[in-house]
A and B are shown apart, each in its own frame.
Chain A
Amino acid sequence: MKIRIIVPLHPKLIIAVLALSLLPIQGSASELRQQIIAGFAQDAKLKNSGFAGFSAGRGQTLFLSKPATGKPDTPSCTTCHSINPAAKGQTRAGKEIAPMAVSKTPERFTDSKKVEKWFRRNCKSVLGRICTALEKGDFVTFMSNQ
């Protein structure tokens, strides 16, 4: 069988196709993160029509606070995640947790199922309740700037 090339393989075309195929991969991490934040924003607006954007400062406060309203062994987010977002943390069973700061761990907050799962678990463990969309958005915004 003879293969007929219909589109002439011009070098410029090849470069263009390659560049296009690379683009989404490069942009994907921050794009996915933006999508997740946008989702939180949508939910926050539904709850409170006066919603005026997320705040990294509030996110930091949540991260560093010691609410101790959840389970006794997990008084704060920093029980497992290091106080320094750029440093590694440790689970209570002693396993390493990669830094939460996006600058250190670029794939953070890019898988919405994973993000939701851990917010559900960790907020229940630390706060004794699920986190609001506002808290989640603030937290991710804070970590994205770190």
Chain B
Amino acid sequence: MAKVMIWDLPLRLFHWLMVATVAIAGITGFVAPAAWLDIHLFAGYALAILLAFRLAWGVLGSYYSRFRSFPLAPRSAFRHLRSLLRNSAAAHTGHNPVGAWMIIAVLFLLLALVLSGLIVLGGQENLGPLGFLVDFQTGWRAAALHEIAAWGLAGAIAVHLLGVFVEARLLRHPVVSAMITGNKLVTRAKAKGQGRSYKARGLTLFTIAALMLLGGGKMLASIPASGWKPVQTPAVYSAECGDCHDAYHPSLRTAASWRGIMSGLSDHYGEDASLDAETAAAMGAFLAANAAETFDTEAAWRMGRIDTKSLRITDTPYWTARHAGIADGVFKLSSVGSKVNCNGCHRDAASGRFADQDIHLPNLSKLPNGSQK
């Protein structure tokens, strides 16, 4: 028996970095508040680079890292499973046949997660490298895929951990220490050059993957988003409709709803907000030209296009669902004032984007005073 380097250093680093980024992405994706999207995206971009590296390493890495060395014949996988049941499976120098399939599945799921994530980001938030390409509905469908893949990955990780447990505890193969030191005790080393650590090659490949993805991603992300357009807001609109509450982005209502609001200003949610006809007409044209129908954003689809009897944005089911967890007192804080002041919490409300990263809850330590009002 001889101690031989089976897992080269780049592969081991990849493995543990992936564990860390998947953990961060998982936590921020499943349980963290929406405002943490930035961290989730950061983990996603890191995963994309790691994945690109791993795919390249599967061709250019050391023997046991290469996909060609994976024992993928279905028959050997069944044989391995059967021997597992008899509690007598032999130790494998590289991956065992079931483990190899597992890795293929995990890599495939991660790829699906990264790609669907980019599509969601581009379609729903009009952000990221695919913002210029993907429409909202596609982003919407990709969100379902993203979630399925995430649960699939969670399942795959559970099976992987079970496999490691079986190997390490029941069969007493030291697979965990092997993924840390890289070494395994083997009778015959199959491949030449296994002792080499492949450090320089790994670093080079990783750098190339990172530079290519970051550079390309940045370039694509700089192309204007497809569903969102900057709006030239006339000063008269911000002034006249911003006196009592923040002026709303025109994409938050349909042209018909805006007409309804503009023609009912003398009885506007319990107040007279009437305007002279000339001013009202100028604003009506601006609102109609930039109404929800002209935007392909999440806000325009889930709220803007949904007409309500009250004409309120805050009566759309989507708005109520997304804000159900916010205590009344939070809306009454002096920095917000009321639920109708979207700017109080959405730093990008004026742009109509309503990106998760730009949600900024006010200072909640002031809550007790605010909620008494």
Q: A121 to chain B: which residues have CB within 8 Å?
A: 271-274
Of A71, A94, A117, the residue contacting B271 (CB under 8 A) is: A71
User: In the complex, what residue of chain A is closest to B265 when comparing beta carbons?
Assistant: A121
A53 to B334, CA, bound (A): 40
Instruction: Tell me if B336 counts as interface (CB < 8 A to partner A).
Output: yes
Contact assessment for A93 and B338 in the assembled complex, using a CB-CB cutoff below 8 Å: yes
Contacting B337 at CB < 8 Å: which of A90, A117, A125? A90
Is A124 within 8 A of B270, CB to CB?
A: no
| A residues 84-104 touching B (CB-CB < 8 Å) | 90-95
For residue A90, which residue of chain B has the nearest CB?
B337
Closest to A123 in B: B272
In the assembled complex, how far is the CB of residue B371 from the closest CB belonging to chain A, in whole angstroms? 13
Bound CA–CA A93/B272 (angstroms): 14
A91 to B267, CA, bound (A): 16
- Check B266 against A92 for contact (C-beta < 8 Å): no
Tell which of B245, B272, B331 touches A124, judged by Cβ atoms closer than 8 Å: B272
Given A91-B245, A94-B245, A94-B332, does the pair A74, B271 have CB atoms closer than 8 Å?
yes
Alpha-carbon gap, A72 to B245, bound state (A): 19
Q: How many pairs, one residue from A and one from B, have CB atoms within 8 Å of each other in the complex?
A: 54
A120 within 8 A of B: yes
Chain B interface, number of residues (Cβ within 8 angstroms) = 21
Does B244 touch A at the CB level, under 8 Å? yes
Contacts of B334 on A, CB cut-off 8 Å? 94
Per the 8 Å Cβ criterion, residues 215-254 of B in contact with A are 243-246
B270 touches A71 (CB 8 A): yes
Whether, in the assembled complex, B341 has its beta carbon less than 8 Å from a beta carbon of chain A, the answer is yes
**B274 partner residues in chain A, CB cutoff 8 A:** 120-121, 124
B340 at the interface (CB under 8 A from A): yes
How many angstroms from the CA of A40 to the CA of B271 in the assembled complex? 25
A73 touches B341 (CB 8 A): no
Q: Which of B243, B266, B276 contacts A91 (CB 8 A)?
A: B243
The 8 closest A-B pairs by CB, nearest first: A94-B337, A93-B245, A73-B270, A94-B338, A124-B272, A91-B244, A121-B272, A93-B338
The residues of B with any CB-CB pair to A shorter than 8 Å are: 243-246, 266-267, 270-276, 331-332, 334, 336-338, 340-341
